[in-house]
Amino acid sequence: MQYLKITQSNTVKFIILLMFILTIILSCKKNKLRSTEYLIKNNTLAVLIINSCSVNRSSTGTKETCLTDNINANDLFSLRKTHFKDGVTISDAFSKLEIKSNTISNKKDVLDNNLWVKEVNGNNIKYTLTVDSLFFK
C-alpha cells in the first residue's frame, strides 16, 4: 500500500479546493432566504376588507394568487408569510393590495415601504401596516 506523498502540487490543489468550497458556502449564506411576514393592524372600529394579490414562483412556473380577507376591528391579521432575500420591497411581495372600510377605499399607497414598520428578530422579518381612522381621509 502506497501512502499519499505531500508535495507542493498536492498542497496547491488542496488550497484551491478549499477556496472553492468556502466560496460556495459563503455565496449560499449571502443569498439566504429569511422568514418574512406581512401583518395588518386594524386600529379602527370598522371591519376592513383586504384585497391582495401576490405572484408566486415555483418550479412549475409563476402564477398570481388573489385573496379577499376581512379584518375585525382592533385586530391584528397575518396577510402573508413567505421567505425572501434581504432588500425585498412591499411591492415585491404584493402585486395588488387594496384596503377598504365600509366600501370606502383608502387614500394612501399601501405598497409604499414608508407606511410599513419593519421589525427584525434573528432570521425573521415582520412588516406591520397600521390602519387607523386617518388612513381613509
Cα gap 68→91, rounded to integer Å? 18
Count of domains forming the chain? 1
Tell me which DSSP letter residue 65 carries. Answer: E
Assigned domain for 17 exists: no
Q: What is the pLDDT of residues 19-66, one digit of tens each?
A: 777 777 666 555 678 888 999 999 999 999 999 999 887 778 888 999
- The predicted model gives 7-14 an average pLDDT of 72
Q: Is the pLDDT of residue 18 over 80?
A: no
pLDDT of residue 71: 94
Q: Is the pLDDT of residue 116 over 80?
A: yes
| Nearest CA-CA partner of 80 in 112, 53, 115, 106 | 53
Q: What is the pLDDT of residues 75-105, one digit of tens each?
A: 999 999 888 877 788 888 899 999 998 768 7
Assigned domain for 29 exists: no
Assigned domain for 18 exists: no
Assigned domain for 98 exists: yes
Which stretches of 1-137 are assigned E, i.e. beta strand?
34-42, 48-58, 61-71, 75-84, 96-101, 104-105, 116-121, 124-131
| pLDDT band of 11, cuts 50, 70, 90 | confident
pLDDT of residue 97: 93
Domain that holds residue 74: 34-136
Put the strands of the sheet holding 104-105 in their side by side order. 61-71, 48-58, 96-101, 104-105
Q: Is residue 34 a contact partner of residue 84, using CB atoms and an 8 Å limit?
A: yes
pLDDT of residue 55: 85
pLDDT of residue 92: 87
Assigned domain for 14 exists: no
Model confidence, pTM: 0.72
| pLDDT band of 73, cuts 50, 70, 90 | very high
Residue in this structure with the C-alpha cell 490543489, named with its chain if needed: 13
